[in-house]
Structure 1
Amino acid sequence: MSQAKTAPLTFGQLSVLRDLDLSGPDEQSDGNLPLVLDVPSGTGVDEATAAWARLVERHEALRTVYDRRAAEPTQTVQPFQGVRLDTVELPAPTREAALDVAGEWAEEEIRFDVEHSWRAAVGVHQGVATHLVCVVHHLAVDSAACTLLEDEFRTLVSGGTLAPDPPQPVDLALEQHGDEQQRSQTIEFWLDEWRGFVEEDRQGGDRSRRHRAALYSERAQDAARAVSERLSVSVQSVVLGAAALVLFDLRGRDRATFGLLAGNRMDKRWQTLLSSMNQLAPMTVAADRDAAPAVFLRMLYMNSLERLLHGSYSIDELRARLTETGCANPDPLQFDCYFNYLGDIAEPPAEGSPARDDVEWFADAWQGGPRFNLRAATGTGLHLSLTASDDYLGAGATGRFLASVEAALVDLADGAPETVGAVDLAPLRKVSPPPPTQDGDTAHE
């Protein structure tokens, strides 16, 4: 039997752990990610269990425990000893029913310091296996890793064969910690960047009520792609540019610092790595209202690309260096505006969903974290999701923001605005008012 092996954390794992350190003892479940994997018709409980066991054997992140007590936390990979899964009865053979179960589990803390970073069971309905219901901690996976798990599980339960074993988090950790020149260059880059951040976007401590809304638009995606092709820039930078213009308009500003989420998978060696590699890559966006939109978007694209290329760094090392230089706010996680591009994962809303023609409101907005958290995904259409606080935007402006981003993208694609200040931000669709808050009063702006 192979022996357990211990190593430092990867920079991505360390960022997740330090984010958890900011949470209270009752908020340690915040890093849990619900994951539902489809079980094909005719596949039994044993076959679904065997497929998950193969993934646990294949990916060390699924059998790793983490020691956060030392100044430099460590990860220990446990030998594979097989997997046994229970079954959970689902009220219906649907993905929604499985997600409800996973969502309930996600509210419970995973003891990743003594066991491992996941919980799973085979979901059955009337004796038939329909889904693998999982919760996996963010220390082990990010969005790209969840997609990898889905693809590999689908291959296994369909009788397919996986590619050779992938690289492991320990491999990445040893490379990151051993390359002192790269570490130093990246830290120096961020030390210089910190001077240009907008202090208003680094306040923290906003405890006002959060509101969450979403919008789905095929028209907006077509527009974003048209601008992307015309200017030879990324789709996500076009969406970010439109979002920045709307934010400037609503807040009466011309600069903002966004915490971009770096996926850190541009190096092909790590694209099949099951781990959490996301880190913040902060960037200040400024808009000259008299500049041409093409100039604004090309500059934003180049600036964001440079920062994303520097998105892998030791958060502890950066904090220590910022403190040494006398930075007033040396916390590398303290940003109020987040922008997270999730990739081509968007699917059309269900029939009858408000998001088809209106803005869809959600009652379950997490009441912590950044004051402004915008997520964007492409696919069959552009899906935008925004969580914003009362003090930062207010409920009504949260919904209007999304509709205005859609309008800005359409206007940019039409090529009509000659200047940034002339981009039309007037919503093209109906924006319903926010729902009443829990105390019965309508949320205010």
Structure 2
Amino acid sequence: MRIQGTYPLTMGQLSMWNALAVRPPEQLWESNQDIVWPIPAGTTVEQVRRALTALAVRHESLRTVYRPADELGGVRQLVLRDPLVQFTEGSVREPFDLAAQPAWRAWVRAPDDGSPQVNLVIHHIAADGAAVRILESDFHSLLRGDPLDDAPAPREVAERQRSDAFRARLTAAGEYRRRTAEAAPRVPVTQGPLVRARAHTGIPYGMARRAAQGLQVTLPNLLLAVYAQALAATTGVADQLLWQLAANRLDPAVRRLVSSMTQWVPLLVPGDPDGGLPPVAREVNVAALRAMQHGVYDPFAVTPQDFDHGSYFTFIPAPVDADPVPSEVVPGSFEWLPARAYSGASFYLVAWVYPHVQLTLRVMRSGYGRADVERFLTAMTDLLLRAVKDTA
């Protein structure tokens, strides 16, 4: 392998590396993402391969391997000069050797309906959720031959994050994280069976967005407030420690960066089991915005993440070109999902909002069975429906 250069990791990459360091070997695959991209009919396999190779030339994280170091947090990223794209089919449960190969593979498949598609397995350290969407957009631009601006590189971000100007920000973020987590009372948690379920609320994206606007909060923070209210109602504890996944892409210089940028950031919010949603939503909105300002920190300078302390939340935004026009609420449904990952947060909600709001809950705590999970997701759906109706 020809090496272009050796560089430190960004704080987002370090957070992912830190999480992998404490994961048993049989769970290393759990950071792999299984992605499918549609491709236009008539596109040849060779055209797809050329576009994927160009994608790896464009984005350094797709031609990067990692070298551990003896000192804490001293791991380095080695950017390869030439793309080494794996065009062989692979399983999402097959872990990548991050020190030996770029952490992704891609192949073309024609399903039974005949529509060709690209299947990818890509590790989270190479691309987080936002980066995957950037990759898909760039892939289709490369297929069409559209011109693209230069792509930012993780090494450039890593350099800025280690500058004297950035040091005070890292220190403040670490101190915020420590104070917030310590302020939340600890509730003893023991591990239980893994239960996963998804509530298809039937609430369209446009109506959910309009409800958030009516409450003068952002849509992710409306869902975060609903989450806090449901937790307060089901646990009887008013103050809730929530951890949200900070995308850390507010700076235009990193908005199109393909890498792992996300880090967990806490907020302590007051739920009110007997009160209304609007005042809680406003408090959550302020707390969440403050938390996001502290989303970048050195993971080796803070207390290791305790995935049993508090409840976790990830928001999956609508596509940039999503149609926000409200439509009618459709009947909802409930779906039990197979167990997938046994590491990470033991109480974890992921919210999709397009084209309709979907809430996926994963629980690995004793005392939570199927009936409890269904009751919790039903409570969240009812709260969100009420907010939609009240602001209609």
TM-score by length of 1: 0.78
Partner of 2:195: 211
Q: TM-score, normalised by structure 2?
A: 0.88
Q: Deviation of residue 2 (structure 1)?
A: 8.0
Question: After superposition, what is the alpha-carbon deviation per residue over 1:95-153, rounded to whole angstroms, capped at 9, x for unaligned?
Answer: xxxxxxx6xx1101101111111122232569x88222211111111100000111111
Q: Secondary structure at the match of 1:344?
A: coil
Match of 2:101 among 105, 115, 122: 115
What do residues 283-339 of structure 1 show as CA deviations (whole Å, max 9, x unaligned)?
1221245665322211110001100111110010123xxxxxxxxxx5465545111
Quote the Cα distance in structure 1 between the aligned partners of 2:261 and 2:86.
Answer: 28
Structure 1, unaligned runs of 5 or more: 89-101, 320-329, 348-354, 417-445
Structure-1 separation of matches of 2:258 and 2:99: 19
2:29 partner letter: S
Aligned: 1:177 with 2:162: yes
Which residue does 1:261 correspond to in 2?
245
For the 8 Å contact 2:67–2:78, the answer to whether it is kept is no
Deviation (angstroms), 1:405: 1.0
Aligned counterparts of 2:275 and 2:288: Cα–Cα separation in 1: 19
What secondary structure does 1:78 align onto?
strand
The residue aligned with 1:426 is: none
The residue aligned with 2:149 is: 164
- Maintained 8 Å contact 1:29/1:108: yes
Q: 1:76 to 1:221 in 2, by over 3 A?
A: closer
**Equivalent residue number for residue 23 of structure 2:** 23
* Structure-2 residue corresponding to 1:272: 256
The question of 1:7 aligning with 2:43 is answered: no
Contact 2:14–2:73 (8 Å) recurs in 1: no
1:198 corresponds to which of 181, 185, 188: 185
Query: Quick one: structure 1 residues 402 and 7, their matched pair in 2 at CA, closer, same or farther if it must change by over 3 Å?
Result: same
- 139-148 vs 288-297, greater mean Cα deviation: 288-297
The one-letter amino acid paired with 1:41 is: A
Alpha-carbon distance in structure 1 between the residues aligned to 2:51 and 2:210: 41
Distance in 2, matches of 1:176 and 1:392, equals 42
Cα gap change, 1:293 to 1:362, in 2 (>3 Å): closer
Q: Distance in 2 between matches of 1:129 and 1:57?
A: 27
1:317-356 to 2 correspondences below 5 Å: 317-319=301-303, 331=305, 335-344=309-318
- Which piece of structure 1 moves more, 406-415 or 6-15? 406-415
Aligned to 1:281: 265
Residue 245 of structure 1 is matched in structure 2 by 229
Structure 1 residues 192 and 47: alpha-carbon distance in aligned structure 2, compared to 1, 3 A threshold: same
Equivalent residue for 1:435?
none
Distance 1:42 1:406, change over 3 A: same
Q: Which fold has the larger relative contact order, with Cα–Cα distance below 8 Å and residues 6 or more apart in sequence? A: 2
Report the Cα offset of residue 222 of structure 1.
5.2
Does residue 360 (structure 1) correspond to residue 335 (structure 2)? The answer is: yes
Instruction: Classify 1:379/1:269 alpha carbon distance in 2 versus 1 (closer, same or farther; 3 Å).
Output: same
Partners in 2 of 1:371 and 1:143 — Cα distance?
Answer: 20
Cα deviation digits, residues 8-31 of structure 1 (max 9, x gap)? 211111111111122112211111
The answer to whether residue 388 in structure 2 is matched with residue 388 in structure 1 is no
Gaps of 5+ in 2: 323-329
The partner residue of 2:120 within 101, 112, 134 is: 134
Pair 1:37–1:292, CA change in 2 (3 A): closer
Say whether 1:75 aligns with 2:76: yes
CA contact (8 A) 1:49 1:85 kept: no
Q: 2:288 is matched by which residue type in structure 1? A: S
Shift of 1:407: 0.9
Task: Report deviation, 1:412.
Answer: 2.8
CA distance in 2: counterparts of 1:334 and 1:75, whole angstroms: 30
Paired residues in the alignment total: 379
Note the alpha carbon deviations across 1:22-72, whole angstroms, 9 max, x for none. 211221111111122222111111110000000100100011111234322
Whether contact under 8 Å (2:225, 2:277) holds in the other structure is no
Q: How many Å separate the matches in 2 of 1:83 and 1:390?
A: 41
Aligned residues of 2:4 and 2:80 also touching (Cα < 8 A): yes
Which of the residues 284, 288, 304 maps onto 1:300? 284
User: Secondary structure of the residue that 2:234 maps to in structure 1?
Assistant: helix
Q: Return the alpha-carbon distance in structure 2 between the equivalents of residues 140 and 116 of structure 1.
A: 8
Equivalents in 2 of 1:8, 1:333: separation in Å?
A: 26
In 1, distance between residues paired with 2:248 and 2:13?
12
Residue 64 (str. 1) matches residue 59 (str. 2)? no
- Structure 2: distance between partners of 1:368 and 1:315: 18
